[in-house]
Amino acid sequence: MKFDQSGVDALMEITSRPELVFVRGQGSWLEDHHGKRYLDFVQGWAVNSLGHCPPSVVKALNSQAATLINPSPAFYNKPSMDLAKRITGASCFDRVFFANSGAEANEGAIKLARKWGQLKRNGAYKIITFDHSFHGRTLATMSASGKPGWDRIFAPQVEGFPKAELNDLDSVRALVDDQTVAIMLEPIQGEAGVIPATREFMQGLRALADEKGLLLIVDEVQTGYGRSGKMFAYELSGVQPDIMTLGKGIGGGVPLAALCAREEVCVFKHGDQGGTYNGNPLMTAAGVAIFDTLMAPGFLDSVNARAKQLSEGLLALASKWGMQGERGEGLLRALMLDRDDGPALVDTARDMGPEGLLLNAPRASLLRFMPALNVTEQEVDQMLTMLDDVISKVRR
């Protein structure tokens, strides 16, 4: 297959992309238009929880596509109810609203918290969020995010998202006032460079929220669905949030996300929330297939075994190359470099032959790893060997 420049020119330019067209994928491997294969430790940004084209999802999509694609969100459909029951059964939440993207689920969480504030807290509407956090690319979720510079690019912002420091409870307490309705955070900041909230901090936030009558919202778009080694990352700290959002891995690659809440918080009136594609049976059928694989006996144990292997391998590389170390939970991990050559490592890893390696550097001083949750022991070893090779090429 030829590289199609006119096709490239027809796409809106939003990011720099290598001159590669990916044509197929299977498990942990992607193939480009030259037929070159890549070991994929990005997986569509932690989206393909079971790797590329997992047979269970392909089967669910095929059979659902031939049965019913979208009756409209104004009617019930079985896959959406099946998936909602599974999620509420496996979590501390009572009800689920399905959305199409993480940002949309977070918008829903923000709306739900504001509605609850109108009804129960005299119109309180402010949601405390965190520096360096990432919640999506709609106007409200960009305003909620703490990415440097994001307060100006599409000014004016949506108002009401004061920023605290992760793992600094006093910085949160200092921001609480009469108009505060909620605290929202990622249990592990993903885009910021895989920075976990500590267990003590999560417990402190729960206590503070209870003391002040606030909602605790966890954005588990990246950390949920087995990524952290638990089904949901809030379980790592033993707290029960009031609202949780899911995205990325929940659909195993297809656009699916969810807003989950405890019964007391489910205060939407008819007409407050909705969306044409929300909860459609095609996507939720894929979601059921993913859920059942992740919850099968032994699956999360294997995620934790691969996480340990990856963590130890990254630590060994860090000490060999004089790097800072590694961190993360489950199969969301980062290698902390000793210099800003993350982007060079990513490019060299991708471009080397005969096989390439796909990695991500959310910051120049850091590599992030988010393989398929069913990555094999041999694939993790192969990635570590390839990475060692890449480092020696770049730093030679």
Beta strands in 192-324 (DSSP E): 195-196, 215-220, 243-246, 257-261
| Minimum CB–partner distance for residue 177 and ligand PLP (Å) | 26
C-beta of 121 vs 163, nearer to ligand PLP: 163
C-beta of 31 vs 165, nearer to ligand PLP: 165
C-beta of 183 vs 390, nearer to ligand PLP: 183
Which among 219, 230, 291, 369 is annotated as catalytic?
219
Q: Whose structure tokens read 């590669």?
A: 20
**Residues 215 and 113 sit within 8 Å (Cβ to Cβ):** yes
Beta strands in the chain (DSSP E): 22-26, 29-32, 37-40, 95-99, 126-130, 163-164, 180-185, 188-189, 195-196, 215-220, 243-246, 257-261, 325-329, 332-336, 356-358, 360-363, 366-369
Binding region for ligand PLP (CB under 6 A)? 101-103, 106, 134-136, 186, 190, 219, 221-222, 247-248
C-beta of 32 vs 186, nearer to ligand PLP: 186
| Minimum CB–partner distance for residue 382 and ligand PLP (Å) | 26
How many other C-beta atoms lie within 10 A of the C-beta of residue 31?
15
Distance of alpha carbon 184 from alpha carbon 163, whole angstroms = 10
Nearest residue to the partner ligand PLP, using Cβ: 102
Distance of alpha carbon 241 from alpha carbon 223, whole angstroms = 14
| Minimum CB–partner distance for residue 133 and ligand PLP (Å) | 8
The amino acid at residue 139 is: L
Strands 195-196 and 95-99: unpaired
At 241 the three-state DSSP class reads coil
Residue 125 is given by DSSP the state: -
219 belongs to the catalytic site: yes
**Residues 224 and 168 sit within 8 Å (Cβ to Cβ):** no
Tokens for 100, please give them: 């199409």
393 belongs to the catalytic site: no
Dihedral sign, CA of 138, 139, 141, 145?
positive
For 161, list phi and psi in degrees, rounded to 5: -130, 70
134 belongs to the catalytic site: yes
Which among 248, 268, 291, 369 is annotated as catalytic?
248
Distance of alpha carbon 180 from alpha carbon 201, whole angstroms = 19
Burial of 1 per CB tally in 10 Å (0-12, 13-18, 19+): exposed
Which among 41, 97, 134, 161 is annotated as catalytic?
134
Ordered strands of the 366-369 beta sheet: 325-329, 332-336, 366-369, 360-363
**Residues 180 and 128 sit within 8 Å (Cβ to Cβ):** yes
Q: What share of the chain is helix, strand, coil (3-state, %, to 5)?
A: 40, 20, 40
| Minimum CB–partner distance for residue 120 and ligand PLP (Å) | 26
| Minimum CB–partner distance for residue 66 and ligand PLP (Å) | 27
Active site residues: 134, 219, 248
